[in-house]
Amino acid sequence: MNIILTGIQGCGKGTQAEKLSQEFKWAHVNIGAIFRDHTSRKTDLGEKAKSYMEKGDLVPDDLVFELISAELNKAGNGFILDGFPRNIAQLEYLLKKYKIDKFILLDLPDDIAIKRISSRRQCRQCKKVYNILFNPPAKEGVCDKCGGLLEQREDDNEKAVAVRLSKFYEETGKVVDYFRENDKLVTIDANRDIEIIFEDILTHLK
């Protein structure tokens, strides 16, 4: 199966994509995380993407296409796309080569997402994501998985969050409309416990 997970930042798509990937052994393609890896390694691609990411803007499509085609070529038997496509040009690019079975929208009100983001922390080393309110590490500030230090993402600040929200409604909203019109849209209430949301997604995939 080829699946797309979408929703505003803080909706939990990364967490759910990771769980689905473990359950079904599908490749989890997280474009934002791949860009962050490039920016922290200061690669050419990372340097080009950095200023857009810091502001919460979408990275230009030509840079995104460079990444996504390499990732999907590696994916093989089924993938979960997390953070792509985010606009109509990206959708058209994807549909030229791939069939999408389900498009899952994790639905969350803006105010709850903003609250979640302010308590989101990420491991500096292994990039595991925590929420200090709902999904904290065993030891404050330290990653359970690798012992690395937890930090806040650079773009999880008020200004960038506002830009990311408006980009979602302006641009990604059209992608949501496309899948709604094609009967592939599954809307999931993301304002619930991680495990309950996961069970709900599984029910829709059966």
172 binds ligand AMP (CB under 6 A): no
Provide, rounded to whole angstroms, the least separation between the CB of residue 206 and ligand AMP.
27
The Cα–Cα gap between 135 and 60 comes to: 33
To ligand AMP, the closest distance from the beta carbon of 203 in angstroms equals 25
Long-range residue pairs from 185-188, CB within 8 A, at least 24 positions apart, any chain: 185/103, 185/105, 186/102, 186/103, 186/104, 186/105, 187/105, 187/107, 188/104, 188/105, 188/106, 188/107
Q: Does 84 engage in binding with ligand AMP (CB under 6 A)?
A: yes
Q: Please, what is the minimum distance in Å from the beta carbon of residue 32 to ligand AMP?
A: 2
* Relative orientation angle of helices 194-205 and 13-24, to the nearest 10 degrees: 50
Residues 95-134, mask of contacts with ligand AMP (x by CB under 6 A) = ----------------------------------------
Asked if 180 is an active-site residue, the reply is no
**Are 81 and 5 spatial neighbours (Cβ–Cβ below 8 Å)?**
yes
Binding residue (CB under 6 A) for ligand AMP from 11, 64, 72, 143? 64
User: Does residue 13 have an active-site annotation?
Assistant: yes
Nearer to ligand AMP, 37 or 200 (CB): 37
Closest CA to 197 of 22, 16, 66, 25: 16
153 is catalytic: yes
Tell me how far apart the alpha carbons of residues 110 and 129 are, in angstroms, rounded to a whole number: 20
Rounded Cα distance between 64 and 46, Å, is: 11
Question: x/- binding map, residues 33-62, to ligand AMP, per CB under 6 A?
Answer: --x----------------xx--xxxx---
The catalytic site residues sit at 13, 86, 120, 153, 164
Per CB under 6 A, residues contacting ligand AMP are 9, 31-32, 35, 52-53, 56-59, 64, 83-84, 86, 90, 155, 164
